[in-house]
Chains A and B, each alone.
Chain A
Amino acid sequence: MVYEVFRQERKGQPFQHAGAVTAPNREFAEAYAREQYGRRGESVALWVVPRDAVLEIDDFVDELERNYHRVDGYPLKEKLKEARERAGRAASRDR
């Protein structure tokens, strides 16, 4: 069985995929992951997961331009320019 190994380099860092080991069960997988990804003190923590348990999703749909909930849906440059100019004219009118 293939076990995927995720490692955390330092506390506070995200766990990242580091590789995989072949092992018959959890015990062996633990021993082997510990050695391959931790014998040099290069990781503070590991997550070891059977490959089958990892669900990969790599297709995402966005057919109808859903930029209403993203930063690129808000081009404000023109509106801001117009608003500043109007405020500037209002100020000079009031004097």
Chain B
Amino acid sequence: MSREQSFLEYVQGGGQVETGDWMPDEYRAKLIKFIEMHGNSELMGVLPEREWILRAPTLQRKLALTAKVQDEVGHAQLIYRVVEDLGKPREACLDDLVSGKAKFHNVFHYPTKTWGDVGVIAWLVDAAAIISQKALLKCSYAPYARIMKKICWEESFHILHGRDVVLTMMNGTDEQRELVQEAVTRWWGPLMHFHGNPIPAEEDPMLVWRIKSQGNEGARQQFLDGYVPQIWELGLTVPDPKLRKNEDGVWEYTEPDWDELRTVVTGHGPKTAERLDLRRLAREHSAWVREVVLAEAA
């Protein structure tokens, strides 16, 4: 049996891998790519939300939203540390991010237009993200599994904050309800894309290497099962006439346009260029700070 083969059997049997352990090149490469994309997503997710920190309409909302975004930055720090220990330094990840070489999740390529978006993102987008994150708690690569525990714990208030914002608006004026509905309608497409196109388990390297414990379609079904009832019970509608749960308990929906997903994550979303520019500029302006503070002596 080759070393690769016995490694595969080891992880498939629930074996855990630590930083210094031997691992196949392919496993390491797939891990770096996956985890790096996660870090990039946390960092890019900050940008649409931070505008609304400044516009938050009450002191409590301002505090909550600042804390939420702070958590996301903190998550990026945890995640890039894991990537660094796997062999790719943080600065290299950030270089690839701003140059457009590396990817980040589709939802962060779209604009936020109103306070309704703030509620809907924290409630539904974060919910979709938490489902993905829970599927990483048993990752075969232990350092990543360990940070996921802290990340999931911190995310727990994000969803509650989101629900609170939405419920307050739904109990408010007609204009506020309209803001929520409009945001749900606009975010539905990206939400359906979020978990990625369905891949058969045996062809999904993330499942084969036990990096994730749930496939894309499983995650999407879990999201629909948990959150469509929450949306409908508020009297909100979803812009998909085919959406329903069938007799077998499976959610049916209009097949998303997977080409659109591919176009967006390869850097052609409505806000991709603008947000990457902002990141690049901020980074350039503060390069001197990193040199003064972090430049290491040998």
Which residues of A are at the interface with B, using a C-beta cutoff of 8 A?
1, 18-22, 24, 28, 35-36, 39-40, 42, 56, 58
Contact = CB atoms under 8 A, between A and B. Distances in A.
Contact of A58 (B20, B154, B293): B20
Nearest to A17: B146
B150 A18 contact: yes
B293 A24 contact: yes
A58 B74 CA distance: 30
Contacts of A22: 81, 90, 294
B287 to A, nearest CB: 16
A24 B294 contact: yes
23 contacts: A1-B296, A18-B150, A19-B78, A19-B81, A19-B147, A19-B150, A20-B81, A21-B77, A22-B81, A22-B90, A22-B294, A24-B293, A24-B294, A28-B293, A35-B74, A36-B74, A36-B77, A36-B78, A39-B70, A40-B154, A42-B153, A56-B20, A58-B20
Nearest to A36: B74
Interface of B: 20, 70, 74, 77-78, 81, 90, 147, 150, 153-154, 293-294, 296
Contacts of B147: 19
A26 to B, nearest CB: 14
Given A19-B81, A42-B153, 13 more contacts: A1-B296, A19-B78, A21-B77, A22-B81, A22-B90, A22-B294, A28-B293, A35-B74, A36-B74, A36-B77, A36-B78, A40-B154, A56-B20
Contacts of B74: 35-36
B35 to A, nearest CB: 14
Where chain B touches its partner, the secondary structure class is helix
Listed from nearest, the 7 A-B pairs whose CB atoms lie closest are: A24-B293, A20-B81, A36-B74, A19-B78, A24-B294, A1-B296, A19-B81
A22 B80 CA distance: 11
Contacts of A21: 77
Nearest to A20: B81
Nearest to B154: A40
A36 B20 CA distance: 24
A22 B293 CA distance: 10
Contacts of B296: 1
A19 B154 CA distance: 15
A80 B77 CA distance: 58
A74 to B, nearest CB: 30
A22 B81 CA distance: 9
Nearest to A35: B74
A40 to B, nearest CB: 7
Contacts of A1: 296
A81 to B, nearest CB: 37
A84 B259 CA distance: 77
A52 to B, nearest CB: 12
A63 B39 CA distance: 44
Contacts of A35: 74
A21 to B, nearest CB: 8
Contacts of A24: 293-294
B292 to A, nearest CB: 9
Contacts of B294: 22, 24
A22 B74 CA distance: 12
Contacts of A58: 20
A20 B90 CA distance: 13
A70 to B, nearest CB: 24
